[in-house]
Amino acid sequence: MYRAPLKEIRFALHQLIGDSALVGRPGLEDYSLEYADSVLEEAAQFAEKVISPVNVPGDRAGAKWTPDGVLAPPEFKAAYAKFIEAGWSTLAAPAEHGGQGAPTLLTTAVEEMWTSASLAFKLCPLLTRGAVEAISHSGSDELKATFLPKMVAGEWTGTMNLTESQAGSDLGLVRTRAKPDGQHFRVFGEKIFITYGDHDYTENIVHLVLARIDGAPAGVKGISMFIVPKFIPDASGAPSERNDVRCSAIERKLGIHGSPTCVMTYGSGPGAVGYLVGEANRGLEYMFIMMNAARLGVALEGYSIAERAYQQAAEWARTRVQGRPAGLREGAPGTINGHADVKRMLLTMRSTISAARALTMYTALQLDLARHEADPAAAARAQARGDLLIPIAKGWATENGNTLASLGVQVHGGMGFVEETGAAQYLRDVRITTIYEGTTGIQAIDLVGRKVSRDEGRAMLALLADMRAELSGLTGGASEQVATRALEGVDLLEHATGAVLEAGRRGAQHLQAVAVPYLHLAGIVIGGWMLAKSHALASRDGQEDAEFAAGKRRDCEFYAANILPQALGLGRIVAAGGDSVVEAEIA
Q: How far apart are the first and last CA of the chain?
A: 48
Closest CA to 352 of 415, 390, 418, 406: 406
Query: Is 557 in the active site?
Result: no
SS3 65: strand
Q: Which residues of 388-420 are buried (b: 16+ CB within 10 A; e: fewer)?
A: bbbbbbbbbbbbbbbbbbbbbbebbeeebeeee
- Alpha-carbon span 396 to 548, nearest angstrom: 26
- Alpha-carbon span 122 to 105, nearest angstrom: 17
Inter-CA distances, 277 with 60, 383, 486, 513, Å: 38, 24, 46, 37
Contact by Cβ (8 Å): 157, 196 = yes
Q: Of these residues, 8, 399, 437, 557, which one is catalytic?
A: 437
- Amino acid identity, position 472: S
Closest CA to 43 of 397, 304, 282: 304
SS3 239: strand
Closest CA to 487 of 567, 409, 551: 567
Contact by Cβ (8 Å): 355, 559 = yes
- Biggest CA-to-CA distance, the chain: 86
SS3 153: coil
Contact by Cβ (8 Å): 19, 361 = no
Non-local (6+) Cβ contacts of 541 within 8 A are: none
**Strand blocks (E) in 108-257:** 156-161, 177-181, 184-195, 204-213, 224-229, 231-233, 239-242, 245-250
Which residues does the annotation mark as catalytic?
Answer: 437
